[in-house]
Structures are given as structure tokens and as C-alpha cells.
């Protein structure tokens, strides 16, 4: 079974959404989508990601979500929007006139790896969210989110960075989200470490040391 859940046809979308009316989706023993969610027809969800409460996805653009993301209750993704440069704004009227509905060129949403969205976050078309970012509950995301940063508000604004730039770079190079679960379990002390209490040099060394050990671990 592939490690990525892909929904890219109307049939798949309808099948998943029918199932989600009554049951959660558990895919590849790692991806979890809560009952009551509504999926879009063009989406990709990475290994280990969880939609921990009902999530709503709509639009004609693509939604791509990385590995080990945590999506909280009532999060929403809108992957496309109405074109506003023409005369008409209603898609139903476009179809009645037998013309293609006007869609804005700003579309698609991408979440990196290990992103955490709080309850009731709304992500709008064209947004890219970096690895390790946190978006506070109730936020409306209209612009790109920097990796390893915390954003909140309407519209969402940067609150602070999670880590020093050197730590961020080390984490990007380590790409721990690609490790096997077995490797992660053997690195429990690394994942339990409080990086806020470590000096930058110490934190970087810890990340690099663990990354090397994991690279050499082929079992």
C-alpha cells in the first residue's frame, strides 16, 4: 500500500466522502481522517498525517500535505476562488450561460512536513506552509507561512520563530520525517529533548549526530 493517500478523481472523492459520513479513514496504518470530514477531488496526504477532527476541503486546486502533520478540529482548506476581474461572480450563472466558471489564477495549497494547525484554521488559495510551522486556533491564513515559525490571527501574522536559523537548517538537512518508525523509536532521547533549553551549538550538534546515526542505520 502506498505511503501517500491520493484523491484525484471525482469517483474517489465521492467514495471517500460517503465513507466519512459514517466512519473515519485509516490508511496505510498511519494516515487518519476523522469521521465527518469532506475531502476535495485533488489532494495528496503524506504518511503519518492525522486529521484529528472533521476537516473541510473544497475548490478545484490541489491540496498537498506532507508527513506527520497534525490537523485539528474544523480546519478548512479552500484551494481555489472565484475570478473577480470579470463581470459575473457566480459560477452557477456561468454554467447557465454554458461557459466555464471563472476561477482565480491563485490556487493550490501546500503544507510541509510536521505542520500543526489548531482548531478552526482556515487556509486560503495559493498558500504554502513551511515544515514545522504552527498555526494558532481560529487563524485565517492568506499568505505563506515560514518554516519552524508560529503564526496566529485574522489574517494570520507571525508571532515568533520556534528555533534559531542554525537549528532550522540542521532540522531541514536531517529530514527526520523520512526516518522509519523504528529509527524514531531508537532516537527517543532526541525527540524528547527540549531544544528551548539548549545552546544553539549543542542543539545543532545533537541534530547532526542523530541524523548521521540514522543514515547509517539500515535495519
CA atoms of 151 and 172, how far apart (whole Å)? 20
Q: How many helices and strands (H and E) does the chain possess? A: 6, 17
Alpha-carbon span 73 to 55, nearest angstrom: 7
Active-site residue, 113 included:
no
Point out the catalytic residue in the list 73, 82, 91, 113.
Answer: 91
Q: At what angle do helices 165-174 and 200-216 cross, to 10 degrees?
A: 0
> 77-105 burial, b for 16+ CB within 10 Å, e for fewer?
bbbbbebeeeeeeeeeebeeeeeeebbee
- As annotated, the active-site residues are 91
Amino acid at each position: 500500500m502506498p505511503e501517500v493517500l491520493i484523491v484525484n478523481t471525482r469517483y474517489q472523492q465521492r467514495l471517500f466522502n460517503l465513507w466519512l459520513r459514517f466512519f473515519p479513514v485509516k490508511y496505510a496504518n498511519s494516515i487518519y481522517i476523522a469521521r465527518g470530514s469532506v475531502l476535495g477531488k485533488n489532494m495528496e496526504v503524506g504518511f503519518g498525517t492525522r486529521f484529528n477532527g472533521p476537516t473541510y476541503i473544497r475548490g478545484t486546486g490541489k491540496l498537498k500535505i506532507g508527513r506527520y502533520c497534525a490537523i485539528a478540529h474544523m480546519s478548512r482548506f479552500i484551494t481555489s476562488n472565484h475570478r473577480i476581474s470579470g463581470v459575473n461572480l457566480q459560477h452557477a450563472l456561468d454554467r447557465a450561460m454554458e461557459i466555464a466558471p471563472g476561477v482565480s489564477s491563485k490556487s493550490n495549497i501546500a503544507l510541509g512536513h510536521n505542520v500543526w494547525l489548531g482548531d478552526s484554521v482556515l487556509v486560503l488559495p495559493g498558500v504554502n506552509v513551511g515544515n514545522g510551522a504552527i498555526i494558532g486556533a481560529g487563524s485565517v491564513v492568506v499568505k505563506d507561512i515560514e518554516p519552524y515559525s508560529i503564526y496566529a490571527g485574522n489574517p494570520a501574522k507571525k508571532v515568533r520563530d520556534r528555533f534559531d536559523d542554525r537549528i532550522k537548517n540542521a532540522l531541514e538537512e536531517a529530514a527526520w520525517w523520512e526516518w522509519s518508525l523504528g529509527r524514531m523509536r531508537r532516537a527517543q532521547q532526541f525527540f524528547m529533548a527540549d531544544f528551548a533549553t539548549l545552546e544553539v551549538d549543542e542543539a545543532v550538534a545533537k541534530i547532526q549526530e542523530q541524523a548521521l546515526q540514522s543514515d547509517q542505520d539500515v535495519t
